[in-house]
Amino acid sequence: MAVGWDAAAVVAQWPGLPPLAGDTSADACVVGLGASGLAAVEALCGRGLSVVGVDAGRVAAGAAGRNGGFLLGGPEPPLHDAVAAWGPTAVELYRETLAEIDTLEATLPPGVLRRTGSLRLAGLPGPAVDDVEEAAREREAVDCAAHAAALREHGIAVETYDGDLGCGIFLPDDAAVNPAVRALSIAARLEHRAALHEHTPVLRVEAGTVTTTRGVVRAPVIIVAVDGRLDQLLPQLAGRVRTARLQMLATAPTAPRLDCPVYGRWGYDYAQQGADGRLYVGGGRDLFADAEWTHATDPTPQVQEWIERVAARMAGGPVAVQDRWAASVGFTDDARALCVRVDDGVVAIGGYSGTGNLVGPVAARAAVAYATDGTVPPPYFES
């Protein structure tokens, strides 16, 4: 399975991190080295603790390195829906995620994060194929207006968009990354501050002990950051988080067309044009929902066929597909992410409902505070 993002030099030339070599101990252990786990490692190091971090594969070889690379303010539901469901705390989370973009911009190597803004379209670019699509687009335009009104009410920047790609709203504070480059850049920064180990699958997590295939890590504080694998590693969370597959593809370089990450059809379909000119396109999960509630991570013909159609509409013409892939994410019933204590000193995070690039690090810091000094997580997390 070729992952388009991995062609970037930082990823292709990643030297790797050594697997765990036997039993060890530390003040803290982090399981899962995606962007969330890495943020937990950084927060724990920042508290002066010794940290061991382990991942079953390469850093960010899960969703953290295989996603759309959208850095969108806020949680998974648009702000008006999140406020309706969770109350004003949804606005607090929105502000935390915008602050996370600022932090990433200040700490990643130059050029990794592109401060592009993002575009939410009503529907997909191009003429509607039939009356059903046209009606759906009109309904979504109404929702875009409600979304914009909520953002304005809370002083968050938003503009009306009516341009080549259709109609919708532009959110100037949002940003874009190559997600694999983002995570590996952070891992490279942390590898001299913490003992980070790739290719070290964790078999079991109990209070004070992380059992891997390569040895046991003893640590009084344990943060589990495996999102789409939470229900497998911690079966006690099985009713609270459910795993889904999300799929993407990357095209050959195409003419410049997308100035920023673009998402439409209620956010189910999305595309980013990378700095390399390729389109990175995903979507279609809702159209094949039954099949996509799975732990499998292989792309499927039916979803990929839909995403190719999305890619062509985003490109404004035919595209040549070069890579196809999929990865796992965790969903919760009300889209509030989990930051839960599962045992003495053990806190699990995840369930970002497909939007964890920024919420994940926010959850990671809340988990570190919860596990180390008992600070109860904010109400925008389920704790």
Ligand X SMILES: Cc1cc2nc3c(=O)[nH]c(=O)nc-3n(C[C@H](O)[C@H](O)[C@H](O)COP(=O)(O)OP(=O)(O)OC[C@H]3O[C@@H](n4cnc5c(N)ncnc54)[C@H](O)[C@@H]3O)c2cc1C
- The residues of the shown chain that bind ligand X, judged by CB under 6 A, are 31-37, 54-57, 60-64, 66-70, 201-202, 225-229, 233, 246, 248, 282, 327, 329, 350, 352, 354-357, 360
CB of 193 to ligand X, least distance (A): 18
**For residues 125 and 356, which CB has a smaller minimum distance to ligand X in the complex?**
356
* Residue 280, beta-bridge partner list: 250, 272
CA distance 21 to 52: 12
Do residues 304 and 291 touch, judged by C-beta distance below 8 A?
no
Looking only at the bridges linking them, the beta strands covering 175-176 and 209-212 are unpaired
Looking only at the bridges linking them, the beta strands covering 195-197 and 51-54 are parallel
Q: Among residues 31, 18, 342, 65, which one has the least CA distance to residue 203?
A: 31
**Helix/strand/coil (H/E/C) assignment for every residue in the chain:** CCCHHHHCHHHHCCCCCCCCCCCEECCEEEECCCHHHHHHHHHHHHCCCCEEEECCCCCCCCHHHCCCCEECCCCCCCHHHHHHHHCCHHHHHHHHHHHHHHHHHHHCCCCCCECCCEEEECCCCCCCCCHHHHHHHHHHHHHHHHHHHHHHHCCCCCEEEEECCEEEEEECCCEECCHHHHHHHHHHHHCCCCEEECCCCEEEEECCEEEECCEEEECCEEEECCHHHHHHHCHHHCCCCEEEEEEEEEECCCCCCCCCCEEECCCCEEEEECCCCCEEEECCHHHHHHHHCCCCCCCCHHHHHHHHHHHHHHHCCCCCEEEEEEEEEEECCCCCCEEEEEECCEEEEECCCCCHHHHHHHHHHHHHHHHHHCCCCCCCCEC
CA distance 147 to 137: 15
